[in-house]
């Protein structure tokens, strides 16, 4: 029998001062693991073209994307998935995947289960967003530190990516 985890109801709306800038993107936490009993993390991500992840897999969590504006193209294993606005994409753990966006400002709801990965991945490399818009791309993104953190969090890269 599964234990029922009880948490308090809550809600979040993107707001300046409570959202983050991460590698030229705008990220808002909608549900943190601390609020969901560890069951789920959810963010709204406004993506900048050119900062998409290389092919990778997660060992500890499943991911889901719901595209709310723009278009993603996912590479899932050997398959390509066209994901325009309104598309839901489920990416179970241990499946190699990557994605690209068609333009700056492409937006998605990103969920991970169990929760915690998104908070751990973003926290060391974010700055509080003073306005709800895409920030400039950092001049020297800390790619090596980001990759090191990902590896510690259970993300694997089948091919070692070169720094952009």
Using one digit for the tens of pLDDT, what is the confidence trace for 51-97?
Answer: 899 999 999 999 999 999 999 999 999 999 999 999 999 999 999 99
Residue 104 in this model has a pLDDT that exceeds 80:
yes
- Give the model's confidence band at 131: pLDDT under 50 very low, under 70 low, under 90 confident, else very high: very high
CA dist., res. 64 & res. 161, Å (int): 23
Q: Which residue has the tokens 């915690």?
A: 116
- Mean pLDDT computed over 143-160: 90
Rg (CA), the chain: 15
Is 30 in contact with 15 (CB distance < 8 Å)? no
Q: Which pLDDT score, from 0 to 100, does residue 17 have? A: 80
Average pLDDT over residues 25-29: 95
Which sign does the torsion angle of CA 119, 123, 125, 130 carry?
positive
Percentage of residues in the chain having pLDDT higher than 70: 94
Q: Read off the pLDDT of each residue in 110-120 and give the average, rounded to a whole number.
A: 95
**By mean pLDDT, which of 28-37, 84-93, 136-145, 153-162 is the weakest?**
153-162
Averaged over 43-47, what is the pLDDT?
Answer: 96
Query: For residue 112, is pLDDT > 80?
Result: yes
SS3 53: coil
Q: Which of 29, 25, 21 is nearest to 126 (CA)?
A: 21
Backbone angles phi, psi at 49, to 5 degrees: -60, 135
The whole-model pTM stands at 0.89
Task: Supply the pLDDT for residue 9.
Answer: 84
Task: For the chain, list the domains and their CATH numbers.
Answer: 19-131+142-154 (2.60.120.10)
Split at pLDDT 50, 70, 90, the class of 40 is very high
**Residue 4 clears pLDDT 80, i.e. is over it:** no
């Amino acid at each position: 029998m599964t234990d029922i985890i009880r948490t308090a109801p809550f809600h979040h709306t993107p707001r300046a001062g409570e959202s983050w800038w991460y590698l030229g993107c705008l990220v808002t936490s909608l549900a943190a693991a601390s609020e969901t009993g560890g069951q789920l993390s959810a963010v709204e991500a406004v993506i900048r073209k050119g900062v998409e992840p290389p092919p990778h897999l997660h060992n500890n969590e499943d991911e889901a994307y719901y595209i709310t504006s723009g278009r993603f193209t996912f590479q899932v294993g050997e398959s390509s998935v066209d994901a325009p606005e309104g598309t839901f994409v489920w990416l179970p753990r241990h499946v190699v995947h990557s994605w690209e966006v068609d333009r700056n400002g492409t937006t998605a709801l990103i969920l991970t289960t169990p929760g915690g990965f998104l908070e751990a991945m973003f926290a060391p490399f974010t700055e509080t967003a003073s306005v709800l818009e895409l920030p400039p791309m950092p001049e020297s993104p800390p790619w090596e530190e980001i990759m090191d953190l990902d590896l510690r969090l259970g993300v694997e890269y089948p091919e070692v990516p070169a720094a952009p």
